[in-house]
Amino acid sequence: MGFFDKLFGKKEKESLDQGLEKTKSGFLSKLTKAIAGKSTVDDEVLDNLEEALVTADVGIDTTVKIIERIEKRVAKDKYINTSELNQLLQEEIADLLVAPPPHLNYTFASEMPKKPYVILVVGVNGVGKTTTIGKLAYNFKSAGKSVLLGAADTFRAAAVDQLTIWSERVGVPIVKQSMGSDPASVAFDTVQSGVARGSDVILIDTAGRLHNKAHLMEELSKIKRVIQKFIPDAPHEVLLVLDGSTGQNALEQARQFTAATDVTSLAITKLDGTAKGGVVLAIANQFKIPVKFIGVGEKMEDLLVFEKHEFVDSLFSLNK
């Protein structure tokens, strides 16, 4: 039983294993072919391994970095057989994943770094942003925390309606205004209400438009400014939600949002529906932003706090 099992339970670990099944089966089958009949890690093995990583959407830059690391290990240790390659890969990939800084190193059940802890959630429409907020609210509430939602995506009536449905389903309050209202005004009202209520966690939804990056940057900056009038060090986290099933497109979204605002953590959704779960490695490595949550299924419990060693274990373990 690993760290993840003790901290989150066997049920969550099983969800992680199942959610990565498509990526794992494709990747491991290619890895098995890459080393078939080989007794040592030679150039041919490395070429085949490179192809397996790229196919899993790990990305060219990240794949090259992994291959270079393995080449150095092989040169240093002189002889590495293919049975050791699996463990070596796990170690090198885990090292590439950014660990969250201390103030982001919380779980649903742990004490939050601040009270109220304000999370500004960003991401384009269609990636599962509002659903992720609903699942976050559910998991925080299930762990005994009081949660408040803020519907600051005021340019789409559907976004406010969807978040309202989640607030009712989960049983947490929501602050909202009419469609077209100033998003910063909604954010301010949400934070003010959260302080008055004594909320533990405040989750604020934001608009997901990328066609006008300058406008998006201005809007998010304004939201931050008005929040800070009430809580000077808020938001404590800017969480970017990305759809893992879109592969390299998720990388481009991350590139645009990190240019528009100071993203501090990532939530990568829909990993259960894709064989391209390697994009988690590509995004984390390229942007040096910690992955905080991953979505591995439809159920509300299937949004998990990310733990890099267990992610890699689930991706590589041959007996699951």
Give the model's pLDDT for residue 78: 67
Distances (CA, A) of 264 to 16, 99, 157, 202, 207: 23, 12, 28, 16, 18
Give the model's pLDDT for residue 111: 93
Q: 122 pairs with which residues across the strands?
A: 240
What is the rounded average pLDDT of the residues 56-81? Answer: 84
Q: What is the spatial distance between Cα 116 and Cα 49, in angstroms, rounded to a whole number?
A: 46
Q: 204 pairs with which residues across the strands?
A: 120, 150
Give the model's pLDDT for residue 110: 93
pTM above 0.85, yes or no: yes
Give the model's pLDDT for residue 263: 94
Lowest mean pLDDT of 61-65, 200-204, 308-312, name the range. Answer: 308-312
Residue 7 has pLDDT above 60, yes or no: no
Burial group, residue 120, by CB count within 10 angstroms (0-12, 13-18, 19+): buried
Q: What are 251-276's pLDDT values in tens digits?
A: 888 988 888 889 999 999 988 877 67
Give the model's pLDDT for residue 252: 86
Give the model's pLDDT for residue 2: 41
pLDDT-based confidence at residue 176 (cuts at 50, 70, 90)? very high
Q: What are 72-96's pLDDT values in tens digits?
A: 888 887 667 777 877 888 888 888 8
Residue 3 has pLDDT above 50, yes or no: no
Closest CA to 249 of 114, 81, 95, 124: 124
Residue 212 has pLDDT above 70, yes or no: no
DSSP the chain: --HHHHHH-HHHHHHHHHHTHHHHHHHHHHHHHHHTT-SS--HHHHHHHHHHHHHTT--HHHHHHHHHHHHHHHHHHS---HHHHHHHHHHHHHHHSPPPPGGG---SSSPPSSSSEEEEEE--TTSSHHHHHHHHHHHHHHTT--EEEEE--TT-HHHHHHHHHHHHHHT--EE---TT--HHHHHHHHHHHHHHHT-SEEEEE-----S-HHHHHHHHHHHHHHHHHHSTT--SEEEEEEEGGGTHHHHHHHHHHHHHS---EEEEE-GGG-S-TTHHHHHHHHH---EEEEE-SSSGGGEEE--HHHHHHHHH-TT-
Give the model's pLDDT for residue 4: 42
Dihedral of the CA atoms 272, 26, 24, 264 (nearest 10)? -60
Sign, CA torsion 125/173/183/258 = negative
